[in-house]
Structure formats: C-alpha cells, structure tokens
Amino acid sequence: MSFASPLFLWFFTPVVLATVLLSPRHWRNGVVAGASLLFYAAGAGPTTLLLLACMVVNFAAGHYLEPDEQDTNRKRRRRLLFGVVGFDVAVLVVWKYAGFATEQLAGFARLLGGDFPVVHLLLPIGISFYTFHHISYVVDIYRGERPALRKPVAFVTYIAMFPQLVAGPIVRYREIADQLPQPRTHRLDDVASGFPRFALGLCKKVIIADSLSPLVEQCFATPADQMTFAVAWLGAITYTLQLYFDFSGYSDMAIGLGRMLGFRLPENFARPYSSVTITEFWRRWHMSLSRWFRDYVYIPLGGNRSGAAKTYRNLCIVFVLTGLWHGANWTFLVWGMFHGALLIIERGYGLDRAPTDPLRRVGRRALTVALVVFGWVFFRAADLGQALVMIGHMLLPDFSGLTDEVDAALGNQVLVVLLVALAILFMPASPVTGPMLESSRGRTATVLRAVVMGPGLLWATILVATGTFSPFLYYQF
C-alpha cells in the first residue's frame, strides 16, 4: 500500500488517525501497532511471518540483554548479543542476497562447464529497514543506553510503525524509547503540525518525482549504440532530482504521519545538494542511515581514533556495507566504494572542510554535485555495462543531441517540472523546508504552508486520483 495511493490517503490514514484520536490514551499504541501490521501485510503477504518471527526473537532477547547494577553477566549478555545480531544479519543476507550470490556462483560454474542452482526468494518489503531497527534495539539495550520494553505492543509499535516501516527514516531505539511507554500524550496540535509536512512530501513525490520518472526511464533505456552526451547527462541529472524528491518526499510524509500519530521521528534530509564536500553530503543525505552506520559499525570498529590507515579501512568497510545494504547488485557495491573513495581522498588531503572563500565554495559545490551525479548513474543503472556506457558518453561531448524517444518524453510539462526542480536544487543550504513547515510560525513558513496545503495539495490529489503515481523508489530496498 503506497503512501501515494487513494486507498492509503483517503481511507486508511483517516481511519487510523480518527481511531487514535478517539481512543483512550492507553489504547493508542495498540491501534498504531495493529494498523501497522495490517498495512505491512497488505503489501508483504506471507513474508509478514518473517517480520513477526524476527520481532519475537528480538523482543525476547531484549530482557536478557539489560545489564544489572554490577554488570556481573557481561559475558553472557555479549554472547547473546552476538547471537541475536547474527540472527538478524543472517535473515537479511539470506532473503536479500542469496539470489545474487547463487547467480554469481552459477555464472562461475558455467565457465567451468558445470552447473549450480540459483535460489529465488521473495524479497520482503522493508527488510533492510526493520533489520536495522532490530539491531539498534538490542545493541542499545546491551549498552545500557535504554531499558528493554516490557510490553509487546510498544515493541511492535517501534518496529512496525507504518510511517517508517517500509523506507525509513531509520529510527535508532534510543531516539524513540522515551516516546513508547503508555499512556502517551497526543494532541490535535500534533495533527496540525504534521499535516503540512505530510502534504509537502506528497507534493514532492507526485508532482515532481513522478513527473520526471518517464524521462528517466527513457534516458536509461536508450540502447548503447544510440546513447549521446545529451541523453546521458539529461538522464543522470533528471534521476538525481527524481531520487531526491521521491525519497525526501517519502521521508517528509513519514515524519508528518509520525507527528500526527504523536511521535517525533528523526530528520532524514537537509538540502544535500547544497553540500560543498562529499563529507558534508553524507551529513545531509539519508542522515538516519549515516547515523546508524556511524553508531553501530564505524565507531565500534575504532572510528578515527587509531590513525589514518585504520580510519580509511573503517570508511571502506562502512561504504561497502552501505552499497550492499541498498541492493544485491554490483552497481550498488561500486556506488558505495565510489563514495568511500571520495571520502578517503577528502580526508587524506584535508578537503573535507568547506572553504570560506565564496568563489571557492561555489566551485566546490559544483564539483560535489557533479561527483554525486556520476555516482547516481551506478546507483540507477541496471548493470555495470549500462553505467559505464552512460558515464563514457558523459565524459566525451558530442553534438548528436537527444534521441526521438527522449525528446518525446521531454514534453513541455516535464520541462517545467525539471526546471523547477533544478531551481530548488540550487537553493541555499538553509532553511530546510520540512522542519520549517512543521514547527516555524514565521511569515515565510505560513506562506509556504498555504501554498503546499492549497494549490500544491489540490494538484497532487488530482494526480493521485488519475492514477499517475508510482511506487516509491526506496520500496525496493
């Protein structure tokens, strides 16, 4: 069930919100938990059983991972932690990567004249996200940062909360633990604050991202012998914009929905394309994922505390895992390694600090955006061959122009949306629109709320009603 579908917008969400508002306070987590499992089951089908099994294992383990006053059971707790985290990782690896791994083995076997069976498993929706939530839960309890939840309903509410279950933001347990105990306050003010944020996300997704989608598809579907400099750059830039407005739109909708339900979810984007360095980009893009890898992988590996060589090693590990986390494909691995290498170069040459000179900042921002655009080609391409063909044409100018198919996809309406999206891309680093709409009471925020909730929401609603929406891009992860 997509956030941008009529069923979700006009039936599911109003019913859930009304039920939460009208229910006694000590029932509200139960309403959210039940609605979340229903929401997930509607899209995941039988793989919902896998989510339930993982929740049972992690909830049961949480009680035994808490340290006592003298922490006399540390070794037992550590063994249990390794076991539970190993279980969570194994579930993710089997369901997400077994097919890819066996395909590689089968290809190698064919080279040797043999045969190897390929495993085909149905990828559960949101498995990457709820696996990271489970790991955060048990690790934060083990570290003594938060106590284990005593009520299964509160635990289900955290893991399966439908605003963030499918595509984030990734909510570390310690960020939300204090919001989960019942009874939880919930006011109409939360609905009033969260709805503009939700409307902003819907506009980003339906009006901008979905309008650019056909053009992206056509550019990346261009055969290698017809690819041109113009098609390659148009496809890469348009996808750069589509991905941002699609994913940040989802995050805005999730944060807005969470606020309407009485929860404060963490921010996930902060104008990432305004970054002056790749280091800054990763502080602004998918921030909840960056924080998760920092807290549960990078720092436990030693972070930057043990010299340059180990720091670079840790960065490599994190970005290899970041690439693989996004999908079982060589393209994602190369994308992660590309960004890891850029971070190492910046750190090694002292380029991770933004320059203060205005002209240098403009130049560094342009370079950063260009590098990110090149990276997104690997992220979007079907395989490495397609990515290398596009990048090759991006680096070798020609005067062939657009193909007839791409030119047809770039109609007047799409061109206007593309120009608007580009204008937004070049806006300053602050203020960030989402938080401003949600909490600011200034004149600018008031005007923006009126635009988003007036003509913007009306236009988005018409597009949804006509069936022009598409699934969120991060649903596949």
Q: Do the domain assignments include residue 285?
A: no
So what's the pLDDT on residue 333?
95
pLDDT of residue 474 exceeding 80, the answer is no
Looking at the structure, tell me whether residues 170 and 260 fall in a common domain: no
pLDDT of residue 230 exceeding 90, the answer is yes
Marked catalytic residue, from 133, 286, 326, 393: 326
Q: Do the domain assignments include residue 410?
A: yes
Average pLDDT, stretch 20-27? 85
Where is average pLDDT lowest: 16-25, 80-89, 183-192, 317-326?
A: 183-192
Looking at the structure, tell me whether residues 121 and 194 fall in a common domain: no
d(CA 243, CA 473): 7
So what's the pLDDT on residue 469?
64
Looking at the structure, tell me whether residues 144 and 205 fall in a common domain: no
Tokens of 109: 């076997």
Looking at the structure, tell me whether residues 199 and 147 fall in a common domain: no
d(CA 354, CA 340): 18
So what's the pLDDT on residue 350?
87
User: How do residues 437-466 score in pLDDT, each as one tens digit?
Assistant: 877 778 888 888 888 888 988 888 888 888
Looking at the structure, tell me whether residues 234 and 102 fall in a common domain: no
Q: Do the domain assignments include residue 177?
A: yes
Q: Do the domain assignments include residue 368?
A: yes
**Length of the chain measured in residues:** 477
Looking at the structure, tell me whether residues 140 and 242 fall in a common domain: no
Q: Do the domain assignments include residue 415?
A: yes
Looking at the structure, tell me whether residues 142 and 225 fall in a common domain: no
Q: What percentage of the chain has pLDDT greater than the value 90?
A: 61
Average pLDDT, stretch 318-322? 94
d(CA 282, CA 290): 7
Q: Do the domain assignments include residue 438?
A: yes
Written in H, E and C, the secondary structure of 8-54 is HHHHHHHHHHHHHHHCCHHHHHHHHHHHHHHHHHHHHHHHHHHHHHH
Looking at the structure, tell me whether residues 171 and 253 fall in a common domain: no
pLDDT of residue 2 exceeding 80, the answer is no
Looking at the structure, tell me whether residues 162 and 218 fall in a common domain: no
Among 165, 183, 201, the domain boundary falls at 183
So what's the pLDDT on residue 184?
55
Among 183, 209, 243, the domain boundary falls at 183
Looking at the structure, tell me whether residues 139 and 234 fall in a common domain: no
Residue 149 near residue 62, CB atoms below 8 Å: yes
Average pLDDT, stretch 401-416? 90
So what's the pLDDT on residue 284?
94
Domain range for 107 is 6-183
Our count of domains for the chain comes to: 2
Looking at the structure, tell me whether residues 101 and 60 fall in a common domain: yes
116 class by beta-carbon count within 10 Å (0-12 exposed, 13-18 middle, 19+ buried): middle
Looking at the structure, tell me whether residues 365 and 401 fall in a common domain: yes
User: Is 393 among the catalytic positions?
Assistant: no
Residue 166 near residue 129, CB atoms below 8 Å: yes
Among 146, 161, 183, the domain boundary falls at 183
Tokens of 386: 């397609």
Q: Do the domain assignments include residue 150?
A: yes
Q: Do the domain assignments include residue 23?
A: yes
Written in H, E and C, the secondary structure of the chain is CCCCCHHHHHHHHHHHHHHHHHCCHHHHHHHHHHHHHHHHHHHHHHHHHHHHHHHHHHHHHHHHHCCCCCCCCHHHHHHHHHHHHHHHHHHHHHHHHHHHHHHHHHHHHHHCCCCCCCCCCCCCCCHHHHHHHHHHHHHHHHCCCCCCCCCHHHHHHHHHCHHHHCCCCCCCHHHHHHHCCCCCCCCHHHHHHHHHHHHHHHHHHHHHHHHHHHHHHHHHCCCHHHCCHHHHHHHHHHHHHHHHHHHHHHHHHHHHHHHHCCCCCCCCCCCHHHCCCHHHHHHHCCHHHHHHHHHHHHCCCCCCCCCHHHHHHHHHHHHHHHHHHHCCCHHHHHHHHHHHHHHHHHHHCCCCCCCCCHHHHHHHHHHHHHHHHHHHHHHHCCCHHHHHHHHHHHHCCCCCCCCHHHHHHCCHHHHHHHHHHHHHHCCCCCCCHHHHHHHCCCHHHHHHHHHHHHHHHHHHHHHHHCCCCCCCHHHHC
Q: Chain centroid to CA 161: how far?
A: 15
Amino acid at 405: E
Q: Which residues contact 75 (CB under 8 A, 6 or more apart)?
A: none
